[in-house]
């Protein structure tokens, strides 16, 4: 019984090494660069050993994306809520969240892209634990929305938080990937700020 932890610790070590190697690969080459054979080579294990600790490469990608969501969450603070009236505090909070997202995406493009580029095989579902971690991030947006539209039903507010996120994501995505002209980050930030503020004002006065 005392010897039990050894294989557990070894599995854990291999798991961590694979996640770490996958993070480096994604940062350098994006999701496309991720190959089981190369990962095994990098961590010094057999290709088959990967599947002792992960169901498949999708499972490994979810583990990396979960770490990305953790990094992103650390940048989401509800700053800007103090002082002034609750409404303008809530508008500032939303802008602050949107800019934190913009900045994270700009500073961590390949990791950020991997959150969206990960395509699952037909019939494969997003694991519940990952969905729960993702859902937690939307709560940051729901909170200021509640202050702006207190009469809104919780289900509608949840939906709205996702819409607002998607809208900001669209601006960041097209801004950072602009093919027609290179848009400086400061312009993307200004676009995000303008959009979120106009939206929030419209929502508050609706």
Considering the rule CB under 8 A, would residue 200 count as an interface residue with a second copy?
yes
Q: Is 52 helix (H, G, I), strand (E, B) or coil?
A: helix
Q: Which stretch binds a second copy (CB under 8 A): 32-40, 54-62, 77-85, 186-194?
A: 186-194
Q: Which is nearer to a second copy, 146 or 201 (CB)?
A: 201
Contact 31, 118 (CB under 8 A): yes
Which residues, 6+ apart, have CB-to-CB distance to 39 below 8 Å? 18, 21, 22, 25, 50, 60
Q: Which of 41, 52, 107, 202 binds a second copy (CB under 8 A)?
A: 202
Contact positions with a second copy (CB under 8 A) in 21-80: none
How many Å apart are CA 70 and CA 13, to the nearest integer? 20
- By CB under 8 A, how many residues form the interface with a second copy? 35
* Secondary structure (H, E, C), 145-170: HHHHCCCCCHHHHHHHHHHHHHHHHH
Considering the rule CB under 8 A, would residue 99 count as an interface residue with a second copy?
no
Q: Which is nearer to a second copy, 84 or 198 (CB)?
A: 198
Q: Which residue, chain included where needed, has tokens 């934190």? A: 100
Considering the rule CB under 8 A, would residue 158 count as an interface residue with a second copy?
no
Which residues, 6+ apart, have CB-to-CB distance to 52 below 8 Å? 11, 14
How many Å apart are CA 61 and CA 120, to the nearest integer? 10
Considering the rule CB under 8 A, would residue 164 count as an interface residue with a second copy?
yes
Considering the rule CB under 8 A, would residue 162 count as an interface residue with a second copy?
yes
Q: Mask: binding to a second copy, 109-138, rule CB under 8 A, as x and -?
A: -----------x-----x----x--x----
Instruction: By CB under 8 A, name the binding residues for a second copy.
Output: 120, 126, 131, 134, 159-160, 162-171, 173-175, 179-180, 187, 191-192, 194-195, 197-203, 205-206
């Amino acid at each position: 019984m005392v010897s039990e932890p050894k294989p557990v610790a070894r599995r854990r070590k291999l798991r961590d090494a694979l996640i770490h190697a996958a993070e480096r690969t994604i940062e350098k080459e994006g999701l496309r660069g991720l190959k089981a054979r190369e990962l095994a080579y990098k961590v010094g294990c057999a290709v088959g050993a990967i599947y002792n600790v992960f169901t498949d490469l999708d499972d490994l990608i979810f583990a990396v994306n979960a770490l990305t969501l953790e990094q992103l969450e650390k940048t989401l603070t509800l700053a800007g809520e103090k002082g002034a009236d609750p409404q303008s505090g809530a508008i500032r909070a939303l802008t602050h969240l949107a800019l934190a997202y913009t900045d994270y995406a700009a500073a961590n493009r390949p990791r950020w892209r991997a959150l969206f580029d990960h395509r699952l095989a037909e019939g494969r579902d997003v694991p519940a634990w990952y969905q729960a971690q993702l859902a937690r991030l939307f709560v940051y947006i729901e909170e200021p929305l509640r202050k702006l539209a207190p009469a809104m039903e919780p289900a509608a507010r949840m939906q709205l938080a996702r819409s607002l996120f998607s809208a900001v994501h669209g601006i960041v995505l097209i801004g950072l990937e602009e093919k027609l002209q290179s848009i400086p980050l400061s312009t993307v930030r200004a676009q995000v700020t303008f959009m979120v503020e106009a939206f929030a004002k419209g929502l508050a006065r609706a």
